[in-house]
Amino acid sequence: MNFDYTDKTLELMEKLQAFMDKEIYPIESEYVHAVETSATPWRTPDMMHELKAKAKQQGLWNLFLPEEYLPYGAGLTNLEYAPLCEIMGRVPWSAEVFNCSAPDTGNMEVLAKYGSDAHKKQWLEPLLNGEIRSAFAMTEPEVASSDATNICTSIKRDGDDYVINGRKWYTSGAMNENCKIMVVMGKTDPDAPRHAQQSQILVPLDTPGVTVVRPMSAMGYLDQPVGHAEVLFDNVRVPAGNLLVGEGRGFEIAQGRLGPGRIHHCMRLIGVAQRALDLSCARVEQRVAFGQPLSKQQSVRESIAQMHCDIEQARLLTLKAADKMDKYGNKVARDLIAAIKIVAPKMACRVIDEAIQMHGAAGTSQDTFLSAAYAYARTVRLADGPDQVHMMQLGRNLVKDYNAG
């Protein structure tokens, strides 16, 4: 594999880095403070809207959508988008500035690939323009949602409508005041084959019977103004045309959605980890212990070196997965996608934990981004499937492929 980025990618990386340096880093603390002290914590701050307008004007918009979805996106491959995603990941909230944040990215990909013309007009175009936000409702409190076939929210046909009943939680995006549409996964036929029982359907947030019960915290963070909600569906009725593709296609849609999403998660985590290492390199030169800078302590040097190695290994593995996805498709690249989802979140947790250690008490405080970054990395070890599911599937595939060959 060639690890030299294309001229197109290098140009976008330079533009994106310049935007981060000029527009994002200088107000990073101000933005976090504005959100945390707001009387309306689920309302997107004005400064975010101002940043979005600047990003759109500079052509740094919808960078995640590949060429097959032109003219909606920038037409980048997974490999071309990966380093841009890493740059955004250095400030966890900044992806929204470029309309590249979850769950909207996955929902836009689903609507672009599986939505009808009416769906695209009503929901995709406003999402692409950054006018609304969206949510993805899959995880349920009553079942082990790591096995997607367990999902038991019912979606039953009733004449020209579907009626939805169930309870979801950690529905990412549903707390935001500008969230208008949810992609909901549920069961249309419990008697069908195991992977054909599920369907996905579009549910406007203001549909009667939809109740946003409460925000769910993750490691103590509510992730305002986006949030993760517990949502109750009580005889929620939507037109039959809101079903995506057809009954029994929900699992297929979920798998198609999660491949690119896992690349995005892993590259953002690499950006977070790289920033934690950069901050650590600065910190250990500034602090003196036992008569010399921390950078002179052998144990600190070893930690810095290991952090670097761990990040580089995860980065290269993720780029290899992105390259294979581009060349051969998500199905062929499934083992590498599973591998990066195992490796990258664990790596980020280790690196950030070491960075916190080097910062001492300050590393656990609100004066650095490290504690929030750790919470984010630890949470992603569960998002899009926990480590154990990916390890189980990867191990199964490797044994099967070896013995088949």
Residue among 191, 223, 163 at smallest CA distance from 376: 223
Cα distances (Å, whole numbers) of residue 117 to 111, 125, 244, 281, 324:
9, 11, 12, 51, 31
Assigned superfamily of 7-128: Acyl-CoA dehydrogenase/oxidase, N-terminal domain (1.10.540.10)
189-209, pLDDT tens digit by residue?
A: 999 999 899 999 999 999 999
Q: Are 284 and 299 in contact (CB under 8 A)?
A: no
15-43, pLDDT tens digit by residue?
A: 999 999 999 999 999 999 999 999 999 99
- Provide the CATH number for the domain formed by 251-404 in this structure: 1.20.140.10
Question: Can you give the pLDDT of all 405 residues of the chain as single tens digits?
Answer: 556 788 999 999 999 999 999 999 999 999 999 999 999 999 999 999 999 999 999 999 999 988 777 777 788 999 999 999 999 999 999 999 999 999 999 999 999 889 999 999 999 999 999 999 999 999 999 998 888 888 999 999 999 999 999 999 999 999 999 999 999 999 999 999 998 999 999 999 999 999 999 999 999 999 999 999 999 999 999 999 999 999 999 988 887 776 677 889 999 999 999 999 999 999 999 999 999 999 999 999 999 999 999 999 999 999 999 999 999 998 899 999 999 999 999 999 999 999 999 999 999 999 999 999 999 999 999 988 899 999 999 999 999 999 987
3-state helix vs strand vs coil in the chain, percent to 5: 55, 15, 30
Q: Are 193 and 185 in contact (CB under 8 A)?
A: no
Burial class of residue 387, CB neighbours in 10 A (0-12, 13-18, 19+): middle
* Cα separation, 288 vs 291, whole angstroms: 6
Q: Which residue has the tokens 């590393």?
A: 363
Cα distances (Å, whole numbers) of residue 283 to 66, 92, 228:
39, 21, 33
- Could you tell me which residues come within 8 angstroms of residue 182 by beta carbon, excluding any fewer than 6 positions away? 134, 135, 136, 137, 171, 174, 202, 203, 204, 205, 210, 231
134-247 under CATH 1.10.3330.10, yes or no: no
pTM of the predicted model as reported, rounded to 2 decimal places: 0.93
Q: Are 24 and 94 in contact (CB under 8 A)?
A: yes
323-349, pLDDT tens digit by residue?
A: 999 999 988 999 999 999 999 999 999
Question: Could you tell me the two tokens for 20?
Answer: 């981060």
Residue among 32, 64, 88, 62 at smallest CA distance from 270: 88
- How many DSSP H helices and E strands does the chain contain? 12, 9
Q: Where in the chain is the domain with CATH 1.10.540.10?
A: 7-128
Q: Where in the chain is the domain with CATH 2.40.110.10?
A: 134-247
